[in-house]
């Protein structure tokens, strides 16, 4: 079950965090993974880890907000079976405290970046006749999170794009779903705590962990496991869905 033999797969933002965990897991299941990241050294390191474990992977350095470079990337592929839109940036702020520059930056990466990859990837996925798209969304798309104004806006767009693509490409046998994590323990979290709470990192880590009713943050590998299932033939009847993976945050946080 859950095998992806020779499925040509793009994972954006695969140099670290959720994207890295997804690239590693799909490669272990037989996928040929294009590890896409804006940081060349990180993409290369992930590829080396995959190859060392006996998998197949190729590093690609691309800024997903640059349409010409995204087009060139997809045009260079022999084929595409799976597209994972995981690249993204975060931001802390309300409507008042969010600068225009930060708003534009989040839109450029989190919204336009997904659009660029969808636009370039769908023609290839049509040829697969069994294409899969997974967009990494967030619980912030559907519930109010304090101080996440611009970030929530972008994830709401990702959620809407997921539904639209799922509907438009039914006839092309392309399944499109998204997943919505709550807090996931990634290097971004550690960097955020170090920058904003120097000397109080452990205290704040525990506080943030306990906002999930289950009492901890998710592991990137747990998120990758859900994505693996949605990419597999076992999920062949699933499209146009959003899957929370949130430790009970959206339903049990009363």
Residues labelled catalytic: 151
Q: Give which of 49, 70, 52 is closest to 61, Cα–Cα.
A: 70
Are 87 and 64 spatial neighbours (Cβ–Cβ below 8 Å)?
Answer: yes
Name the DSSP letter for residue 197. S
Which residues have CB under 8 Å from 168's CB, separation 6+?
A: none
Task: Scan for tokens 């779903």, then name that residue.
Answer: 177
DSSP β-bridge partners for residue 243: 179
Strands 8-12 and 132-136: unpaired
How far, in Å, CA of 107 to CA of 114, rounded? 10
How far, in Å, CA of 91 to CA of 99, rounded? 11
How far, in Å, CA of 110 to CA of 33, rounded? 21
Give the 3-state secondary structure percentages of the chain, helix then strand then coil, rounded to 5.
50, 15, 35
Q: Give which of 165, 159, 170 is closest to 121, Cα–Cα.
A: 165
């Amino acid at each position: 079950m859950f095998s992806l033999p020779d499925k040509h797969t793009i994972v954006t933002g695969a140099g670290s965090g959720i994207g890295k965990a997804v690239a590693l897991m799909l490669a272990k299941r037989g996928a040929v993974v294009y590890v896409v990241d804006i940081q060349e050294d990180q993409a290369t390191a992930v590829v080396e880890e995959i190859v060392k474990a006996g998998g197949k992977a190729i590093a690609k350095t691309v800024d997903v907000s640059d349409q010409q470079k995204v087009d060139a990337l997809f045009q260079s592929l022999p084929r595409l079976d799976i597209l994972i839109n995981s690249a993204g940036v975060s931001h802390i702020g309300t409507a008042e405290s969010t600068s225009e520059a930060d708003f534009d930056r989040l839109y450029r990466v989190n919204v336009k970046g997904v659009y660029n990859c969808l636009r370039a990837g769908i023609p290839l996925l049509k040829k697969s006749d069994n294409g899969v798209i997974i967009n990494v969304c967030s619980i912030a798309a559907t519930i109010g999170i304090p101080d996440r104004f611009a970030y929530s806006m972008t994830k709401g767009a990702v959620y809407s794009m997921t539904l639209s693509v799922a509907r438009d490409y039914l006839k092309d046998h392309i399944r499109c779903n998204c997943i919505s994590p709550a807090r996931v323990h990634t290097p971004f979290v550690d960097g955020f705590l170090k920058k904003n709470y120097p000397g109080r990192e452990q205290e704040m880590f525990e506080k943030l962990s306990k906002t999930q009713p289950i009492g901890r943050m998710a592991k990137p590998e747990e998120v990758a496991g859900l994505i693996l299932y949605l990419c597999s033939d076992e999920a062949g009847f699933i499209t146009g869905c959003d899957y929370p993976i949130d430790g009970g945050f959206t339903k049990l946080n009363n």
